[in-house]
Amino acid sequence: MTAPPERLWRVFPWDSAAAPGERFSATYVAPGEGKGRFDLPRMPGGVIYCAESPEHAVGEVIQHYRGQVLDEADLRIAGYGLTLIDVTLAGNVRDRILDLCDAEILVRLGVRPDETASHDRRVTQHIASRVHGAGYAGLRWWSALTGDWHTVVLFRDRLYPAPAHGAPQPLTIDSPAVVEAARILGIRLRVP
């Protein structure tokens, strides 16, 4: 079983004036609506989706520009610039993340690999519910974008101690993570 790295990554629209925990702050996580692959719709606090690399975190946000041109204005949501932030997990949290990329883990859970990749959210959310019910702090699975990228889904009610957040890094069209994500996803960049 592969443990996730100590540092994970998120991308979000950032307001530098927002207080911690407020909308558009580094520590704000939008309330889950139950639409994500591994969401826990009936669980207070829901989940946090993180990526194991900066380019993957960016790729999840810009993926809908595949085959198109991305420019600086596209790196804004709700009037705020997209920002990359690192999220550092405590060792006891990392040790309680179940790696669904490990065939032995899937066998133990009685889950087929195709179930974890299903587009039917009832199937994948049921898997997340089982992992949560078994006491884990989260799960690790490959991205739907490429098997080279891995997503870590953190169950917010199991994050003790809370993750530490690094300094927000505003994204620009020439940020290394944007350039690399665009290259991998086949997105052209309009550089001024």
> Is 128 inside any structural domain?
yes
> Is 1 inside any structural domain?
no
For the ranges 32-41, 43-52, 153-162, 166-175, the lowest mean pLDDT is seen at 32-41
**What confidence tens digit (pLDDT) does each residue in 103-146 have?**
999 999 999 989 998 999 999 999 999 999 999 999 999 998 88
**What confidence tens digit (pLDDT) does each residue in 43-62 have?**
777 899 999 999 999 999 99
Range of the domain at 132: 7-189
CB 171 within 8 A of CB 50: no
The number of domains in the chain is 1
Which candidate, 118, 117, 176, places its Cα nearest to that of 143? Answer: 117
> Is 155 inside any structural domain?
yes
> Is 2 inside any structural domain?
no
Name the strand (E) or helix (H) holding 59. helix 54-62
Residue 123: per-residue pLDDT: 94
> Is 173 inside any structural domain?
yes
pTM: 0.92
Which candidate, 129, 138, 128, places its Cα nearest to that of 158? Answer: 138
